[in-house]
Structures are given as structure tokens and as C-alpha cells.
Amino acid sequence: MAYLIRVNQLKINLMKLIYSILCLSLLVMGCQPAPDNSASEAFERNSQTVLDNLENFQNESMDYSEYAADFVMRDTGFGAKDSLSLDDVMEHDKALWGNYDFKLVTDPLSLLPGVDVDTKLADGSVRYYANWEVTLAATDSTDAKSGVIGLYESFDFNADGKIIFQQVYGDFTGLFTYLHTVEMEETEEE
């Protein structure tokens, strides 16, 4: 009889232990902080801004209100100054549109999340790799000429969702040399 009492007590103690572990596990899992989706949400919101920006650039109708007042663009051209202000970019865009037409030919465009340089964690920035077709308009003496350039471009945003930093990399020198080759050859012949 004493044996049966001990076995029953052992079963009861074992069940208490199992229930205690189960309750403790539920408590630990229930106390986990909610996942931080802020970077993902910022990326989605900022991606729409980038898509609008690229569409507006192609249509030569930029919405510069998407840019922060303290915006800076890294100037990656050979021999160029280090950075451009928003006023510089606006002037540069106007000059480009006066001579060239731009068309994003990568379809569908895949926007990628960027990361903070220091933490290596997603920070809501947006980047992409794509091909653009750039066309030099025809003149009275020359035909229109197009070339395709592969670009990498990234956009960083401030807390208000405004573009604060932008950079673009591609072989613009090669592209513009190609587009103007006929003009250079004709000038040399004269």
C-alpha cells in the first residue's frame, strides 16, 4: 500500500512539474516584445516615393517636394565636385531634359531595402539596379540616337519620409560619349 501511495505522489509531482513548465513557457513566450516592423513599413512607404520619383523623372515633371531641405546628392561623375544641393540637382535635371529623353526599361523594377551603415540593420532606405534608355533627340542634321545604361541608385530618407540623400552610379561618360560620337566625327570632318 505504501508503494501505491508513493507512486501516486510521484505521478502527482510529475504532473505538477509538467504543468509548471508549461505555464512558465507560456509566460515567457507571452512576454516577448512585439516585433519591430518600423523599418519594413518605412521601406514600403519610401518605395512608393521612389517609384513616383522615377516616373516623374521620366516624364520631366519632378516633384521636388519629396526632397528634404537639407538634401544632398553624391556626385559620382569623374572630376565632379563631391556633392550637389537640391538647387544643383534641379538645375542639372533641367539641363538633362533639354538634351535627352529618359526611359526606365527594367520591368518589373525590383526595389531593395537598404541598411544603416553602422548597424547593418534595415533602415527604410531604398535602392535598385536597373537599365535606363537615354535618347539624344534628333536635330536638323542628325538622327536621334539612344543608348542603354545600367545604373545603381539609392535613396535615404529622414523621419518625415523626405529624401535626404541620393546617389547614382553608372558609366555616364561612356554613354554620353557614345551618344555624341556622330556629332564629334562630323565636327572633325568639317
Q: Are residues 22 and 107 in the same domain?
A: no
In contact, 142 and 182? CB cutoff 8 Å: yes
In contact, 58 and 134? CB cutoff 8 Å: no
Please state the domain count of the chain: 2
Output the pLDDT for position 23.
67
Output the pLDDT for position 95.
96
Q: Are residues 24 and 45 in the same domain?
A: no
Q: Is 152 helix (H, G, I), strand (E, B) or coil?
A: strand
- CA distances (Å), 129 to each of 1, 22, 103, 106, 168, in order? 79, 49, 14, 9, 10
Q: Which domain, by its residues, includes 20?
A: 1-32
Q: Are residues 27 and 53 in the same domain?
A: no
Q: Are residues 12 and 64 in the same domain?
A: no
Burial-class residue 126 by CB neighbours within 10 Å (0-12, 13-18, 19+).
buried
pTM over 0.95: no
**Stretch among 24-28, 68-72, 159-163, 164-168 having the lowest mean pLDDT:** 24-28
Q: Are residues 11 and 59 in the same domain?
A: no
Q: Are residues 17 and 73 in the same domain?
A: no
Output the pLDDT for position 19.
74
Q: Are residues 42 and 106 in the same domain?
A: yes
Q: Are residues 166 and 77 in the same domain?
A: yes
Q: CA nearest 83: which of 171, 164, 174?
A: 164
Residue 185, pLDDT > 90, answer no
Question: The domain spanning residue 136 has which CATH number?
Answer: 3.10.450.50
Place of cell 560619349: 177
- Mean pLDDT of the region 129-137: 97
Q: Are residues 28 and 43 in the same domain?
A: no
Q: Are residues 24 and 106 in the same domain?
A: no
Q: Are residues 5 and 80 in the same domain?
A: no
Q: Are residues 27 and 73 in the same domain?
A: no
pLDDT tier, 165 (very low <50, low <70, confident <90, very high otherwise): very high
